[in-house]
Structure 1
Amino acid sequence: MIRRLHKLPGLAAALLLMVMSLSGVVLSVLPAVEAARMPAAAEVGLAVADLVDRVTFHHPGVEQIRRSTSGRITAWFYENGRPGAATVDPATGADSGSADRPAPERWLTNLHRSLFLGDAGRIAVAVAAGALSVIALSGLLLTVRRIGGWRRYLAPLRGPLTARLHLEVARIISPALILLSVTGLWMTAATFDLLPQDGVTRPPEAVSGQTGYALSDMPLLRETPVVSLRVLTFPYPDDASDVVTLETARGEIWLDQGTGEVVGQSDRGPWERVTETIYWLHTAEGSPALGLLLGFMALGVPILSTTGVLMWLEARMRRPRIKGSVAARQADTILLVGSEAGSTWGFAATLQIALTAAGRSVHVGAMSGFDLDLYRRATELILLTATYGDGAAPASASAFLSRFVTASAPERLRLAVLGFGDRQFPSFCGYAEQVAQAAEAGGWRTLLPLDRIDRQSSQDFSRWGRALGLTLGIELDLNHQPVAPKAVQLTLMSRRDYGEEVGAPTAILRFGLPPAGFADRLLQRGFASFEAGDLIGVLPEGSAVPRLYSLASASRDGFAEICVRRHPGGLCSSQLTDLSPGDRITAFLRPNPAFRPAPGRSPVILIGAGTGIGPLAGFARANRRGRAMHLYFGARHAESDLLYGEDMAVWQADDRLTSVTTAYSRMVPRLHVQDALRRDAARIVALITEGAQIMVCGGRDMAAGVNAALTDILAPAGLSPALLKAEGRYAEDVY
């Protein structure tokens, strides 16, 4: 629900909000410009009576004197039968400029407040302000959810550039946008007299009936400093019943024009004071620093609008066009999808094609569009859903669960839930589990029990499809072929070989980078910008299914480097380890921002075995500032497969690696990397207490052993790998 509240108003009002924000940015600079022009020193010690004396010397027919919060003093007068107005210098009372605002300022103000459309424009701007308040508040809540709670509000961000920039700007400016939008709505309501009014106190009718007392001699005006003045209104000539009106921050005071005595006053009511405060918070009039701050915050709106639209377009482009999907009212099988990045839609397309070929009529849609009233002919409801973050609904399922739990399960409709996720994360298929639990609580008939697909496994999906086919009484062969991102050709520059002596041939392969286009460099995408720990997808000849390898280099190194071990019968590993310099591969880049050292100076403990050294070596290579990094590396034999052995010595010499601890499983003593950790238990605990981050890369068995060892090591200190994961201090890249 929150995601929908954030996305729909944002897309609808993006252009209008950009116009309002950019015009607001320019207007926010004006208080600083005006303050710089005002001769503030001339007001020091000056009384209102002195100002009246000076202004009337130049304009005997003065009718009113106003002072803005910025210090600008304007006089309105009537001379030679014509009205006039001018900005005056308080030091002399002489004219110092026109009373009219410059034409560009008036133009911008009109654009910002009403879009040059009068009251209709003011209403449109108010609607946009309301949308902005919803966008900013929902965006703030989504940001907090994405980064792991309020305690991690200022924690470093990871992810693709567009999403990272969107989140970074959002968490900085969201509070200010909420303030600007709410104050803008209040000001519009005040303009249309929609707010409660304070009681009005009128000036007394009983006055002396005398005239001629000089304002410059009135005691109150001599006691009131100019810096307190808001408005001073002179009485009408020859009208003995009129009074002198002095308006300050406290309210209005009426003076008898014949005696100079106070004959009445009206203090500002609470609603008026609140409105004035809100006006000041929105316009920053008289406060240059606040104006510049609000202007800086408003600059973020175009960035948020642009990145938000780009993220929406990217998600739409990742969502495949599913041909053959029938209308929901005509379908006997309803297939609903919950996807965050778009990959689950590809599995849905494969399932829809197979079901259609088997004679079923299938409707494919987003889970957020769930509507039982449309499924009158359907007998099967199949839900394919990924999980967002820590068990939350993915983008296309944002409104599903709230509707699903209140729906009455039809007797004719059977339900199957299939979750997609990554088993290495604690909330593996967490949202699918929530849906399955809600279905059980709601009494839904089961088509198939909850099942899970790990890391988009085509094999797992095919297995689940066979089970679905048996239940439906049809033959269902789900041969899912993931659609790979746009791939490029990479040329092998060099290779280093290890492991032949121990029967585990392994190579460090270094590829040259392809030329990057302007758009790639600008948006920092593809091979134009990557970090060690990101993934390179290699498309082996004769297969459309890519194999992913962790990068041991960053784009600034000028090459893409991976570690590959040859596996018996392994199609991709065999092709890669057979390459010679000059040979080419077809590959693409996939960011993996969850696996890289967090910014800062806290220590990093790198733990890996075999080819898992790849990204860890990349982290050490990039550690040019000498951050404390402690490497624990497991191999078979020191003389055959100590990958990056020569580099480790160099990196230790120039402080890129603080320490290197090795464990060899085919030497005496026979040790695995987890054994080395147990031997260094005291140092591990000390480093973790200092705030160290742990990064583990390698096979599942090794990772499980490391996790078990660290659980034992950290338990006496009241710590655990699970707790470190929750704090963002334990990251795994496991295969």
Structure 2
Amino acid sequence: MIRALHRWPGLVAAVFLVVLSLSGAVLSVFPALDRISAPQAQTSLDVATLADRIHGNYPGVEQIRRAPSGRVTAYWFHDGVPGSAVIDPATGTATASADPNKTQRWLTELHRSLFLDDSGRMVIAGAALGMLLLTVSGAALVARRSGGWRSWSSPVRGPLAGRLHVKVARVAVVGLGLSSLTALWMSALTFELLPDTGSNPVFPSAVSAQMGVELTAIPLLIETKVSELRELTFPYAGDVSDVFTLKTDSGKGYIDQGTGAVLAWDTPGTLASISETIYTLHTGQGAPLLGLVMGLLALATPILAVTGALVWCAARRGQPRIRDNARAGSADTIVLVGSEGGSTWGFAATLHQALVQAGHLIHTAPMSAFNPHEYSNAERLIILTATYGDGVGPASATGFLKRLRRGEYVRKTPVAVLGFGDRSFPKFCAYGQAVAQDLQNAGYEMLLPFDTIDRQSVQDFARWGRDLAASMGSSFELDHQPVVPEVVKLTLTSRRDYGADVQAPTSILRFALPKLSIWQRVTRTGFARFEAGDLIGIFPSGSIVPRLYSLASGRGDGFVEIVVKKQSGGLCSGQLVTLEPGDTIQAFLRRNPNFHAQTAKTPLILVGAGTGVAPLAGIVRANTRLRPIHLLFGMRHLHSDFLYQEEISGWQADGKLHHLLEAESRGARPRYVQDVLRAEAVEMLGLIQQGAKVMVCGGREMAGGVASAMTDILSPVGLSLQTLKAEGRYVEDVY
């Protein structure tokens, strides 16, 4: 519900909101320019003295106004010709034209009404309401994604557009919410939906019928400082019944032009004071620094609009359209999905359709939308979830365990949990196991024992489906047809071979960049944008299950490069190491933003062994800003499998690589990268205390040894690996 409330107003109102925000951001600059350019009155200067100075220079003066910026403007008639000017309070003489800035006036009309008068103002009011809905729903979604309001500032992972959307929203949400609320208040005043808040004293019925009081003899003008003045209107020449009208920060009143006595005075009420504050907050008039801050925050709107559209498009591509998706409150079965790359959604769609055909009402949603309060008719809860990285939940499951562990849900329906993963990874289905365990701890009855699917096995999925059907007393089959990602043809241009001497054939394979469509170039999708650490999926002949390899290159390098070691019985690796220049493969690109070096000046510690050096080499190659990089590279023998040896020497000479440490496991002095870490503990700890980021890539045993060594290095100073991970300063790409 919250997601839909956020998505559709955003897509519909995006153009209006961008126009409003950009025009508002530009308008926020003018109060500051006025404050800088306008001559300012001394704090001790009173209105009587100012009025006398201006009257002496312009005897026909009719009105004096002071803007919130401090700019004083006078209006007069001379020989029947009107005149006006910006006044220097120190002399009472003109310093600049009082004509409105044409650009400012044009932008103001655009911002207030889109040049459509009252119709436009109604559209603007609707856009402001839409902005408020987007702000509130967006804040709720950010909190949900972060795992709760207390985790508002927790690290964000996922594709660049999503991460940027959340990070910008976190900063701008207060400003955008304030802008929309103040805009709505001002619209309500415009359309008289709120009572008149101005100060309107009753015009005096009796005056002295005298004229000619000296301005410097009027007590109220003497007592009022120019800094409090808003407007002073002079009596109409020759009209003994007219009076001086004075408006200040504290109210409005009338002054007898013959005696200087105050005839009436009215002080604004609470509602008027609120309206004044809201006007200042929205326009920046009288608070130019605040105006600039609000204008800067308004610039977040086009960024949020673009990134939000990209996130929506990515979600549309990655999440299959679920047909016949019942409302959560009416469904008898709730299916929740935890997915990172989108493949688990495909299995969920197959399950959904099978259950619908069996006569059930099904509601399928991401795990992040978990809310049992809405599942009033649910008889069962089914969770399909992948495991991401080091045993953590995937993107669409953010916050699930935190909400479950709060223990606020009373109605507990029977539940079945199915984990998706790859047994070659160290923490196979660890997140799914944690979900199942926490559900049991919370008192949920298990409809089925926790089960797993290895490498997207359709056979395993069909077998689990039969067990599920039996537990439900139903009859259906799960015939899943995997959705194959869109692939491109890559042509091998060169190869370098290593490891033959130690019976571990390893090759650096370099492919030409594929041809890109105009759309891909514009939208920067597919191979139009990638960097070292992203993943390339390759379909070996005779298999529908892709194998993933870490990229050792970025788009800017002009080629696609991977490192492959021939595995015993490995279908994909066996085919890859036999490729010759000119041969082709079918591949697709998968982002892996959590294993990007990102832009920073702090040191970078790269730890890799064997083919795990591939993305690390790509990161060093791309280090054109000469960030301090320390590479710990583990291999069997220097002479047989020192991958990238030639390039590493060049990178050191160019300053791209600050320090290289090698670990030979079968050399004269055998040691592993974790041994090198311990030997260099003092230097490593110093780098980490400087804010260094640690990136580890390689086999799970190596990664476990590195984690143990890092724990030993950190513990004496009160740091922990968990802390570094939470800060995004310790990341792994483990296989």
Q: Alignment partner for residue 48 of structure 1, among 43, 47, 51?
A: 51
Write the distance in 1 (CA, Å) between the matches of 2:400 and 2:488.
Answer: 35
Q: Deviation string for 1:349-380 (max 9, x for gaps)?
A: 333566689x676746326598999997x865
TM-score, scaled relative to structure 2 = 0.82
Contact persistence 1:10–1:305 (CA under 8 A): yes
Contact persistence 1:335–1:363 (CA under 8 A): yes
Per the alignment, residue 344 of structure 2 pairs with 344
Per the alignment, residue 716 of structure 1 pairs with 716
1:257: how far off? 1.7
Per the alignment, residue 394 of structure 1 pairs with 396
Write the distance in 1 (CA, Å) between the matches of 2:720 and 2:708.
Answer: 10
SS in 1 for 2:666: coil
Per the alignment, residue 632 of structure 2 pairs with 632
Distance 1:521 1:401, change over 3 A: same
SS in 2 for 1:255: strand
Write the distance in 2 (CA, Å) between the matches of 1:324 and 1:267.
Answer: 62
1:689: how far off? 2.7
Per the alignment, residue 183 of structure 1 pairs with 182
Q: Number of aligned pairs? A: 721
Task: Could you tell me which runs of 5 or more consecutive residues in structure 1 were left unpaired when the two chains were aligned.
Answer: none
Amino acid of the structure 2 residue aligned with 1:49: D
Write the distance in 1 (CA, Å) between the matches of 2:93 and 2:638.
Answer: 91
Write the distance in 2 (CA, Å) between the matches of 1:331 and 1:244.
Answer: 73
Q: Deviation string for 1:183-225 (max 9, x for gaps)?
A: 2233234445666888968469596623112464544447766
Distance 1:404 1:677, change over 3 A: closer
Per the alignment, residue 285 of structure 1 pairs with 285
SS in 2 for 1:501: helix
SS in 1 for 2:605: strand
Per the alignment, residue 572 of structure 1 pairs with 572
Amino acid of the structure 2 residue aligned with 1:312: W
Q: Deviation string for 1:627-651 (max 9, x for gaps)?
A: 3322222222222222222333333
Range with bigger deviation, 249-258 or 396-405: 396-405
Per the alignment, residue 691 of structure 2 pairs with 691
Write the distance in 2 (CA, Å) between the matches of 1:400 and 1:121.
Answer: 45
Write the distance in 2 (CA, Å) between the matches of 1:425 and 1:268.
Answer: 70
Distance 1:205 1:333, change over 3 A: closer
Write the distance in 2 (CA, Å) between the matches of 1:692 and 1:396.
Answer: 27
Amino acid of the structure 2 residue aligned with 1:209: S
Write the distance in 2 (CA, Å) between the matches of 1:169 and 1:400.
Answer: 24
Distance 1:108 1:350, change over 3 A: same
State yes or no: 1:527 paired with 2:530. Answer: no
Distance 1:595 1:610, change over 3 A: same
1:609: how far off? 1.3
Write the distance in 1 (CA, Å) between the matches of 2:129 and 2:319.
Answer: 31
Superposed, 1:547-558 pairs within 5 Å as 547-558=547-558
Per the alignment, residue 259 of structure 1 pairs with 259
Per the alignment, residue 542 of structure 2 pairs with 542
1:237: how far off? 6.9
Distance 1:698 1:474, change over 3 A: farther
1:612: how far off? 0.6
SS in 2 for 1:494: strand
Distance 1:392 1:77, change over 3 A: farther
Per the alignment, residue 173 of structure 1 pairs with 172
Amino acid of the structure 2 residue aligned with 1:128: A
Per the alignment, residue 496 of structure 2 pairs with 496
Distance 1:505 1:388, change over 3 A: closer
State yes or no: 1:298 paired with 2:301. Answer: no
Per the alignment, residue 249 of structure 1 pairs with 249
1:562: how far off? 0.7
Distance 1:292 1:337, change over 3 A: same
Contact persistence 2:204–2:263 (CA under 8 A): no
Q: Deviation string for 1:88-124 (max 9, x for gaps)?
A: 454788898787885x866654553355676676555
State yes or no: 1:486 paired with 2:489. Answer: no
Write the distance in 1 (CA, Å) between the matches of 2:448 and 2:723.
Answer: 35
Write the distance in 2 (CA, Å) between the matches of 1:716 and 1:674.
Answer: 17
Amino acid of the structure 2 residue aligned with 1:351: L
SS in 2 for 1:627: coil
Write the distance in 1 (CA, Å) between the matches of 2:198 and 2:282.
Answer: 25
Per the alignment, residue 209 of structure 1 pairs with 208
Per the alignment, residue 125 of structure 1 pairs with 124
Amino acid of the structure 2 residue aligned with 1:14: A
Amino acid of the structure 2 residue aligned with 1:131: G
SS in 2 for 1:186: helix
Q: Deviation string for 1:303-349 (max 9, x for gaps)?
A: 31232123113212322245688999999866454556643220113
SS in 1 for 2:638: coil
Distance 1:391 1:196, change over 3 A: farther
Contact persistence 1:235–1:242 (CA under 8 A): yes
Distance 1:404 1:5, change over 3 A: farther
Write the distance in 1 (CA, Å) between the matches of 2:153 and 2:323.
Answer: 44
Write the distance in 2 (CA, Å) between the matches of 1:217 and 1:521.
Answer: 72
Amino acid of the structure 2 residue aligned with 1:245: T
Q: Deviation string for 1:664-696 (max 9, x for gaps)?
A: 333343323223323333333333233222211
Write the distance in 1 (CA, Å) between the matches of 2:399 and 2:41.
Answer: 62
Amino acid of the structure 2 residue aligned with 1:515: K
Distance 1:139 1:506, change over 3 A: same
Contact persistence 2:355–2:362 (CA under 8 A): no
Distance 1:731 1:272, change over 3 A: same
Superposed, 1:130-169 pairs within 5 Å as 130-139=129-138, 159-169=158-168
Superposed, 1:354-369 pairs within 5 Å as 363=362, 365-366=364-365, 368=369
Amino acid of the structure 1 residue aligned with 2:66: R
Distance 1:29 1:628, change over 3 A: closer
Contact persistence 2:344–2:385 (CA under 8 A): yes
1:525: how far off? 2.8
Amino acid of the structure 2 residue aligned with 1:125: I
Range with bigger deviation, 568-577 or 292-301: 292-301
Superposed, 1:42-81 pairs within 5 Å as 47-57=50-60, 62=62, 64-70=63-69, 71=71, 73=73, 75=75
Per the alignment, residue 589 of structure 1 pairs with 589
Distance 1:108 1:636, change over 3 A: closer
TM-score, scaled relative to structure 1 = 0.82
Distance 1:392 1:659, change over 3 A: closer
SS in 1 for 2:595: coil
Contact persistence 1:387–1:393 (CA under 8 A): no
Amino acid of the structure 2 residue aligned with 1:550: S
